Amino acid sequence: MSKIKLATIWLAGCSGCHMSFLDLDEWLLELAEHVDVVYSPVGCDLKDYPDDVDVCLVEGAVANEENLELIRIARKRTKFLVSFGDCAVTANVPGMRNMLGKAEPVLKRSYLELGDDSPQLPHFPGIVPELLDRVRPVHEVVDVDLFMPGCPPDADRIKSTLEPMLKGEQPVMEGRDMIKFG
């Protein structure tokens, strides 16, 4: 049986969801028997999101132009997209900046009003991705096939989500163990 092509991507998040993925510890070895990790910020150095990905775990909200481009590409090239963690599911912590309005007041507050020595706005087109006016959960931008909440989802929840998929089954996201936020 051919291996499942697994990707994970890191949008606007703290990487805590990926750290929780690494907390799978020895189960990662079992997972490795069933999947090829074809794109990920952990343990994989590929720069371009590949074609024909079977499953992608998406950490983080969509907060800047780079996030937007990557999630659109990932959606086109992935069969089953999982919103992985509360930032992906609700925008969560990165979404708190939405309270300040659009991108401009957020940048002014952060880099000018709160700047120390030489306050300046980070405007480096092509180097620093432009902020979107609003931080959005992943499903507001592209279709999502499964929601896995948690900040972060703990390793047991990640395992209980992935394990059925390895057998071609849909995970059951029910009950406190699987869908509690936070």
Which residues of this protein are in contact with ligand SF4, per CB under 6 A? 13-14, 16-17, 59-60, 85-87, 92-93, 151-152
Nearest distance in Å: CB 154, ligand SF4: 10
Nearest distance in Å: CB 164, ligand SF4: 22
**Cross-strand partners of 48:** none
Closest CB to ligand SF4 belongs to which residue?
A: 16
Within 10 angstroms of residue 47's Cβ, the number of other Cβ atoms is: 5
Nearest distance in Å: CB 8, ligand SF4: 12
For residues 32 and 14, give the distance between their C-alpha atoms in angstroms, rounded to a whole number.
Answer: 25
Q: Which is nearer to ligand SF4, 37 or 158 (CB)?
A: 158
Question: What backbone torsions phi and psi does residue 131 show, to the nearest 5 degrees?
Answer: -70, 145
Q: Which is nearer to ligand SF4, 60 or 144 (CB)?
A: 60
Q: Which is nearer to ligand SF4, 22 or 112 (CB)?
A: 22
Q: Which is nearer to ligand SF4, 85 or 144 (CB)?
A: 85
Within 10 angstroms of residue 133's Cβ, the number of other Cβ atoms is: 12
* Strand, coil or helix: 12: strand
* Contact status, residue 80 vs residue 143, Cβ threshold 8 Å: no
Nearest distance in Å: CB 18, ligand SF4: 8
Within 10 angstroms of residue 25's Cβ, the number of other Cβ atoms is: 9
